[in-house]
Amino acid sequence: MSNKTYDLIIIGGGPGGYVAAIRAAQLKMKVALVEREHLGGICLNWGCIPTKALLRTAEVYHLMRRAGDFGLSAERVTYDLKAVVKRSRTIAQQLNQGVKHLLKKNRVEVFDGAAQLSDGNQVAVMEKGKAVATLAARNVIIATGARARELEHLKADGNKIRTYKEAMVPKEIPGRLLVIGSGAIGMEFASFYSDMGSEVTVVEMLDRILPVEDREISELAAKMFTKQGMTLITSASVSELKTGQDGVTATIEKEGSKSDSQIFDGVILAIGITGNVEGLGLEAQGVKVEKGHIVTDQWGATGQAGLWAIGDVTGPPWLAHKASHEGVIAVESMAGEKGLQPLDKGNIPGCTYCRPQIASVGLTEGAAVEAGHQVKIGRFPFMANGKAIALGDTEGLIKTVFDAKTGELLGAHMIGAEVTELIQGYAIAKTLETTEAELMKTIFPHPTLSEMMHESVLDAFGRTLHL
């Protein structure tokens, strides 16, 4: 059993952990990284990347069935589900190897196994319940991520009742599918399976789908998903799931209505996530945990000397790019770098890669008003954009929220084709504290979808040129 000393030990090799390791190595630290399962974490192996591969397949399949709209002919369009899943898994494996190469290139020593903390910032690397190495460092970053949340009456069986992990490797496309939860994960899977032929029902406890998004955007999304054939049941919950030979019987309780039992061929649980805080020895080290997540300050410090935490294990928003940024901030903070700024969560863009895509950054209209802002709202529809018309994707909207007094860009909200690529323009604008004046003066290329971003700004101040 090896006993080694480092400047920094990182527990977890996801997008927060491995990025923190590389940044630390760049700052001449001797770094060890402990990973119990897959380098790249959930995002790379079972989340962000492979789901996008599946959604790309669904998008192409959808377009092939619309071939006639483009003057093309494609007869008897079908798919090979085994090949669809294989492509997704191959992409994940390719990127996993890429992370391994990056860590090796930066001389980060990787240990396979689970980690347990003990006094003096020591970390035991465990395999099959036995310590195979003992590591020590001045600083330790906990980047253990999160996992799918389950409720006592809603538990996955890995077969007909699935979490995101099983939903990514289907052996068949269910005829009738129930998705419980309408956040980003739920709506991405609902979109994929719907495009691949499932009859999809989504149940959401709150009064609208995609509840973290601007209300106008989520209501427009509901209309578009319903038009595609999905059934959306809001202000409702699933009180029971019973698996039988005919499928899964779900008891759906809707506010103000009698309970309704429906039979589905499959169920996907998308009811949130909870941090991986168990088995690390956090309690013995005095690390504060609230609602399944580690409490930190703005730099990632836990309040216990030399112990830091980043990423999904510290709470929402549960986004890979947030974790990576937090990793860099924590490492630079412990290294004493000058000119550091804490993470501004108001500048973190969020993306949902369903069809239609949804993206946002900053305050919603409702949140801006609630915060006391007098607002100016700009809107521009896809149907008035030449590039969108040429693409054959004319359903969508760009919405901007400004402070009426100062012209500050408070938030931006989008739904439609490729908006996950467009949102970064507004994220940069918010980071630079841009006002409407700079955005109006910015020249956007024509013909592009990005022109709608400019037009939405102009519309907020009564200057739109194309409506």
Predicted confidence (pLDDT) per residue in 448-457, tens digit:
999 999 999 9
In one-letter notation, the amino acid at residue 335 is A
CATH code for the part of the protein at 2-148+274-334: 3.50.50.60
Predicted confidence (pLDDT) per residue in 358-370, tens digit:
999 999 999 999 9
**Taking the CA atoms of the chain, what radius of gyration do you get in angstroms?**
24
Query: What are the residue ranges of CATH 3.50.50.60 in the chain?
Result: 2-148+274-334, 161-271
In one-letter notation, the amino acid at residue 153 is H
Rounded distance, CA 85 to CA 335, Å? 43
Confidence (pLDDT) at 2: 63
Nearest to 24 by CA among 383, 232, 333: 333
Our CA dihedral for 32, 36, 38, 43, rounded to 10 degrees, sits at: -90
Candidates 3.40.630.30, 3.40.720.10, 3.30.390.30, 3.10.350.10; correct CATH number of 356-460? Answer: 3.30.390.30
pTM: 0.94
Tell which wins on pLDDT, 400 or 119.
400
Average pLDDT of every residue of the chain: 95
Q: Are strands 409-415 and 397-403 parallel, antiparallel or unpaired?
A: antiparallel
Q: Are strands 114-118 and 176-180 parallel, antiparallel or unpaired?
A: unpaired
Nearest to 20 by CA among 48, 36, 41: 41
Confidence (pLDDT) at 129: 84
Residue 465 has pLDDT above 90, yes or no: no
Confidence of residue 1 (pLDDT cuts 50, 70, 90): low
Candidates 3.50.50.60, 1.10.630.10, 3.40.1280.10, 3.40.50.300; correct CATH number of 161-271? Answer: 3.50.50.60
Predicted confidence (pLDDT) per residue in 214-226, tens digit:
999 999 999 999 9
Predicted confidence (pLDDT) per residue in 14-34, tens digit:
999 999 999 999 999 999 999
Predicted confidence (pLDDT) per residue in 140-185, tens digit:
999 999 998 888 889 999 899 999 999 999 999 999 999 999 999 9
Query: What are the residue ranges of CATH 3.30.390.30 in the chain?
Result: 356-460
- 285: tokens are 């080290």
Mean pLDDT score, 379-400: 97
Residue numbers annotated as active site: 446
CA separation, residue 84 to residues 24, 53, 461 (Å): 38, 9, 47
pLDDT above 70: percentage of residues in the chain? 100
Rounded distance, CA 300 to CA 302, Å? 6
